[in-house]
Structure 1
């Protein structure tokens, strides 16, 4: 029995989409909201093979070791912190933590560009603007096509954010299945009423609300904003951070969303002009982690907000 295990954001969904368009495989899907990354432990003991995409190997290390011990073959592609990669003939790992790549771009290289337009959309969705622009130029995409793929990536990424699946417009596995019908993302966009247009309308509505976010701090080093404990706020927490980062590339940006227990979910974006450190900063706090350019904390106590802001200010103010 095969299992496809993937992050529920644009990068995870589109990485799997490229693979299954190129190599169709009947398997069980395991995914969740974007921040639900401890997914390998959900794989059944009946598994014979696993594909793992866009989930930190470091976070899933114990489950990975158990799968390998059970003689399960694992194909693992990711761009997050990996820790020590297990030495096993059963493990085929493509890991690159460079701040300018993402899982879908790694899969695109693995497939020799077979579904590269999808990779462009994923890179835009993961806010890899320079890398996405470079691939779009290489493919000869028009300005209109580039902007359409950028919007698509952002919308798919936006759909992945939430406390639970109830916050999302589409469950990630359902969205994956719908997208799998299109070998070319521009075909999806050309179809009126498709999921592209459904997500576009929802995204625009939520982002209008986000523009009134409470500003916690705004200085030459960083800008931090607070969003309420609402479904729309949880949905925009990541993409709003990306938008702020694109508006002021020299600053770090943090989006604090209030949880129902009074703690905060935090999305941190390193300055686009200095894409490093976000994962290390968030990893200093319990429930925190991520990659160099973008990271987060699932439950930051209210009393730790000042400490977090100070950590960000010190790191990027040096």
Structure 2
């Protein structure tokens, strides 16, 4: 039987699949892409005689494709933490879905495999900006502080690589990155032996330096909105910069927008870490929006909807207060 592994190309999706295949090796066809490629299940051919594992993409966004596969008798196991909507009841569907804010797909797989490859779960959790959950797992393995820092850096670098409008924006296609790390049960060995790990680290630092030089487009009661230019580095750093801002100011919400060649925006939203709710509801108010409670995004926000988004952002995170943009005000977190 032919098997398909369908997974988000970010750190959480890659590390979730990696744990699963280290535990249960299986030859499969890989379907993945950049972070914003969330309707991946539609790329699986609808035919009998196949099976599918899905990781880290919203069931709700892939509902039609999932139902078509189930009607064809395809067996599907589904690991995810994004908004799911109603989960279909079907004998061929095995859902492992938890949408609470302190859970990511790597943690769901860690539970599923009994913590057999927990170091990679820690990498995935750090990549998904779940620092508290990652530290808790690290404590269970009694890691030294410098080891924890290595796993954090690796998770953030793998996650950084997933952001871009197309794979041409990325340093390496996510499927290729997954294939490189596949032989490594130990992430410390991967970091020590694969040059791509250092290349991603260096590129992320360079792009973050460029982002931190920019003032916010709007400073609001609830947080701030940044608009990055139409450049590959800006598209790559969109998620990493949003996570950095959220971690630096945990009581505030952030949106990081990068401009497209057409003049529209791709949006990443981070709810305040101190109260990690509201990001998905905000983004789902706009076409192509979705995500989870703590972090969500909009695939395409028309340029003339920026003011509407700004008002909706303030309503989402400041209890309906009127947005108060102060375009010239600067909010500059210090670099870690």
TM-score (norm 2): 0.92
Residues of 1 paired with 2:277 and 2:46: CA distance? 38
SS of corresponding position for 1:120: helix
Aligned to 1:285: 286
Supply the RMSD in Å over aligned alpha carbons.
1.0
Aligned to 1:88: 90
Residues of 1 paired with 2:226 and 2:215: CA distance? 5
Offset of 1:55 from its aligned partner? 0.5
* From 172, 175, 196, the counterpart of 2:174: 172
SS of corresponding position for 1:226: strand
Aligned to 1:201: 202
Aligned to 2:219: 218
Offset of 1:317 from its aligned partner? 1.5
Task: Identify the range of structure 1 (56-65 vs 218-227) with the bigger mean alpha-carbon deviation.
Answer: 218-227
Aligned to 1:103: 105
Residues of 1 paired with 2:214 and 2:81: CA distance? 30
Aligned to 1:57: 59
SS of corresponding position for 1:60: helix
Provide, for residues 114-148 of structure 1, a one-character-per-residue CA deviation record: whole Å limited to 9, x for no partner: 00000001000000011111111111111000000
Aligned to 1:306: 307
CA contact (8 A) 2:220 2:314 kept: no
Residues of 1 paired with 2:6 and 2:114: CA distance? 22
SS of corresponding position for 1:59: helix
Residues of 1 paired with 2:123 and 2:221: CA distance? 31
Residues of 2 paired with 1:276 and 1:234: CA distance? 24
Offset of 1:238 from its aligned partner? 0.5
Offset of 1:214 from its aligned partner? 3.8
CA contact (8 A) 1:279 1:296 kept: yes
Aligned to 2:71: 69
Offset of 1:303 from its aligned partner? 2.0
Residues of 1 paired with 2:66 and 2:203: CA distance? 37
Offset of 1:289 from its aligned partner? 1.0
Provide, for residues 264-309 of structure 1, a one-character-per-residue CA deviation record: whole Å limited to 9, x for no partner: 1111100001100100001001111111000111111222212211
CA contact (8 A) 2:278 2:293 kept: yes
Aligned to 1:260: 261
Provide, for residues 194-214 of structure 1, a one-character-per-residue CA deviation record: whole Å limited to 9, x for no partner: 321111111111111111224
Residues of 2 paired with 1:223 and 1:84: CA distance? 33
SS of corresponding position for 1:268: strand
TM-score (norm 1): 0.98
Residues of 1 paired with 2:35 and 2:65: CA distance? 19
**Structure 2 spans left out of the alignment, 5+ residues:** 320-336
Aligned to 1:142: 144
* 1:127 matched to 2:121: no
Offset of 1:44 from its aligned partner? 1.9
Q: Give the aligned length.
A: 317
Residues of 2 paired with 1:233 and 1:124: CA distance? 21
CA contact (8 A) 2:46 2:68 kept: no
Residues of 2 paired with 1:183 and 1:194: CA distance? 17
* From 115, 118, 136, the counterpart of 1:116: 118
Residues of 1 paired with 2:195 and 2:267: CA distance? 32
Aligned to 2:330: none
Offset of 1:219 from its aligned partner? 3.6
CA contact (8 A) 1:214 1:227 kept: no
SS of corresponding position for 2:217: strand
**Structure 1 spans left out of the alignment, 5+ residues:** none
